Amino acid sequence: MRIALAQLNPTIGALDDNAKKIKKCRDRAMEGGAELVVFSELALSGYPPRDLLGYNKFLDREREIIVEELMPLTVGPGPAILIGAAHRRGSRLYNGAFLLDNGLIKSIHLKTLLPYFDVFDESRYFTRCTDRQIEMIGDLPVAVTVCEDIWNDMEYFTDPLYDIDPLEGLFAGGARLLINLSASPYHLGKHALREDMLPFLSRKYNTAVIYLNQVGGNDDLVFDGSSLVYNDRGELFYRAAGFKEELFYIDTEDLYRPVKNIVPPDEDDTGTIMKVLRLGLKDYAAKTGFEKAVLGLSGGVDSAVTAALAVEALGSRNVLGLMMPSPYSSGHSVEDAVALAKNLGIEYRIIEIDKPFNSFLDLLNEGTEPYVDVAEENLQARIRGNIVMHIANREKFLPLVAGNKSELAVGYCTLYGDMAGGLAVIADLSKTKVYELAGYFNSYHGREVIPRNTITKAPSAELRPDQKDQDSLPPYEILDPILEMYMEKNLTAAEIAEKGYEQETVEEVIAMVTRSEFKRYQAAPGLRVTPRAFGPGWRMPIARG
C-alpha cells in the first residue's frame, strides 16, 4: 500500500487556509498514486490552537471542513485521508485522528495521553479517551495514535508520566504498523530522543513506525518536521526534511524488509539551532504580516547574531540595523556594527541618542549632570527602544529583540529598552551558545560575517563609563551552567554548589533569577531552543518569598 505523508506548516487558527493547503496536498497524493494520505495532529487548526478551542463556532467550522470538504474527496478513486482534528462528544472535547474513506468518517482515534507539562496545556482543552481499537487499512492492522500516546513506554522511560501506555493494548491486538500524528515542537536533544525511542518501539513490537510531525514556527514554538519512518526491525527507512514542508510516500511493503543504507541518528548541533531560529523568525514575520525587520545593532555579539539570523530568514534587503550610540558607547561599537551591516549587506542608520538623552536629563535631574545610576542606564536603553519602535511603527518593520537567555534569566536587561520588540529571536540561547552561533555563521559562510572584534571583545552594555558585563555578573562560563542546572534540572543552590560551584555565587544567581521574574512576565515571545525556555513553559510567581 502506498501512503502519502504530508508534513505541512499550518497557520494557527486559519482553518480555511490550512484546509486549502491540505486539499492541494491530497490532490498531489492522488496523482502520486497514494491509497492513503496522512496529515499531522490538529492539522486543520494548526498546533497549538490554545483558547481558540473554547469557541464552539471555531470547532463547528473545523468539523464542517471535514464533513463538507474533505469527506467527499474520499468518494471514488482518490486516497483515504487520515487527519488530526478536534472531536466533540457532548460537552467533552477530544484530540482525534479522523480516518475518512468512501465519503464517510470511517473511524476516529482519540488521544489518551494529554501532555500538561512544559509548554503543553492539553488537559485544559481535551478529555482523555482510553477506548482504542486497531484500524485495518488495506490488509494492515494499524495502531493509529496521536502524538503523546506513543511517549509512555514503561520499559523505555524510567519514570513514565502517565499510568497507562496505549500502545500495549494495540500491539497485544496484533498491530503491525504504528502511525503517529504529531505536533512536536523542537528543543535541543529532541532529534536524538526521537531517533532512539521510535526504533525502540519498532523493535519491541516488531512493528513498522510512521511518525509524522508538523513543521513551522508558531509564536515561541518551532516545529521541526523531520518526520521519521522505521521498518519493523527499527531501522530508519526515511527521514523527511527538517524545518520545511514535504510530501513524501511510503510503500508499506518496504517496511517489512531490511533497509539497505543504514543512516546514523540525527544529532543536534549549532546548525540545527540556526535552522530553528531562522524558521521561527521567518514564520513569525510571515504569519503576523511583516516582510521586514528592524533591530538595534550595538556592536555586540547578541545583536550581530540576531541580525545574521534575520538576514537568513528574511533576506538582506529586508533587514534594517540601527546604530544608536550614547555618550558611553565605546569608539569601536559603531565601527563593529557598521562592519557587521556591511558584511550582511543590510541597510543601516546611525542615530545618536545624545539629544533625547540630554533633554530627559534636563527634565529629570533638575540640572544636567548625569547621576550615572541604574535609572539613567535604563533610560538610555529605553530611548533606543523608543527609536526602534518608532521606526517599526512608522515603516512597518517587525522590531526584533536581541537579548540572550543568560541576561534575561538574571534580569541584566531593561524592560521597554533592549527588551522592546515583537519577537526575541535568541532569548533561549545562553551567551555561551550565542558565541557558538556567531562562530558557526562565520564558518558556514566561509568568511567573516560576524566581525572578529564583536566576538573577541569583552561583552558590555555600555550604559556607563567602562562598564563590563563581568562587573555585575559571574563569568558566563560559570553563570550559564548554573542557570542550566537551575532551569532545566530543577536543582537548588545547595545541589548546584555540590557540583563544584561557589555556594555564594549560585545563591546570588538564583536570587537574581527570582528578582527579575517581573521583567520576564513582560518579555516578548522568545523562540524556544532548549528543553526549558522562559515563556509559556516557565510559570513562576512574581510576588514571592
Please list the active-site residues: 41, 111, 147
Using the minimum distance from each CB to a second copy, give the nearer residue, 88 or 233: 88
Order of all β-strands in the sheet with 319-323: 347-350, 319-323, 292-296, 397-401, 423-424
- Single out the residue of 9, 26, 48, 293 in contact with a second copy (rule: CB under 8 A): 48
Q: What is the dihedral of CA 5, 67, 175, 7, to 10 degrees?
A: 20
Using the minimum distance from each CB to a second copy, give the nearer residue, 247 or 485: 485
Q: Which amino acid is at 379?
A: L
- Contact criterion met (CB below 8 Å) for 387 and 243: no
Stretch that binds a second copy, among 183-191, 243-251, 349-357, 451-459 (CB under 8 A): 349-357
Window 223-282: residues binding a second copy (CB under 8 A): none
495 φψ region: left (φ > 0), alpha (ψ -120 to 50), beta (else): alpha
Site string for a second copy, 275-314 (x = CB under 8 A): --------xx--xx--------------------------
| Residue 378 near a second copy by CB under 8 A | yes
- Contact criterion met (CB below 8 Å) for 146 and 180: yes
Using the minimum distance from each CB to a second copy, give the nearer residue, 13 or 265: 13
Using the minimum distance from each CB to a second copy, give the nearer residue, 238 or 486: 486
Query: CB of residue 299 vs a second copy: minimum separation in angstroms?
Result: 20
Reported for 86-93, long-range contacts at CB under 8 A and 24+ positions apart, including other chains, are 86/42, 86/45, 86/49, 86/53, 86/59, 86/62, 86/126, 88/59, 88/63, 92/127, 93/53, 93/59, 93/125, 93/126, 93/127
| Residue 359 near a second copy by CB under 8 A | yes
Query: CB of residue 129 vs a second copy: minimum separation in angstroms?
Result: 12
Using the minimum distance from each CB to a second copy, give the nearer residue, 373 or 504: 373
- Contact criterion met (CB below 8 Å) for 389 and 418: no
Window 319-348: residues binding a second copy (CB under 8 A): none
- Which distant-in-sequence residues (6+ apart) come within 8 Å of 425 by Cβ? 277, 280, 281, 306, 309, 310, 400, 401, 402, 526, 527
Closest Cα to residue 101, out of 4, 36, 24? 36
Query: CB of residue 426 vs a second copy: minimum separation in angstroms?
Result: 17
- Which residues are paired to 218 by β-bridges? 221
| Residue 455 near a second copy by CB under 8 A | no
- Single out the residue of 393, 443, 470, 472 in contact with a second copy (rule: CB under 8 A): 393
Query: CB of residue 166 vs a second copy: minimum separation in angstroms?
Result: 18
Query: CB of residue 211 vs a second copy: minimum separation in angstroms?
Result: 25
170 phi and psi, to 5 degrees? -65, -40
Distance between CA atoms of 453 and 473, rounded to whole angstroms?
A: 22
Window 154-183: residues binding a second copy (CB under 8 A): 159
Using the minimum distance from each CB to a second copy, give the nearer residue, 481 or 536: 536
Stretch that binds a second copy, among 66-74, 93-101, 461-469, 489-497 (CB under 8 A): 489-497
- Single out the residue of 108, 389, 478, 497 in contact with a second copy (rule: CB under 8 A): 389
155 phi and psi, to 5 degrees? -90, -40
Q: Which amino acid is at 420?
A: A
Window 400-439: residues binding a second copy (CB under 8 A): 415-416, 420, 422
- Single out the residue of 390, 445, 468, 499 in contact with a second copy (rule: CB under 8 A): 390
Window 71-100: residues binding a second copy (CB under 8 A): 91
Site string for a second copy, 10-29 (x = CB under 8 A): -xxxxxxxx-----------
Distance between CA atoms of 198 and 211, rounded to whole angstroms?
A: 8
Joined grid coordinates for residue 180: 503517529
Query: CB of residue 179 vs a second copy: minimum separation in angstroms?
Result: 27
| Residue 538 near a second copy by CB under 8 A | yes
Per 3-state DSSP, the chain is made up of helix, strand and coil in percentages (nearest 5) of: 40, 20, 40
- Contact criterion met (CB below 8 Å) for 319 and 256: no
322 phi and psi, to 5 degrees? -115, 120
Window 212-231: residues binding a second copy (CB under 8 A): 217-219
Using the minimum distance from each CB to a second copy, give the nearer residue, 102 or 492: 492
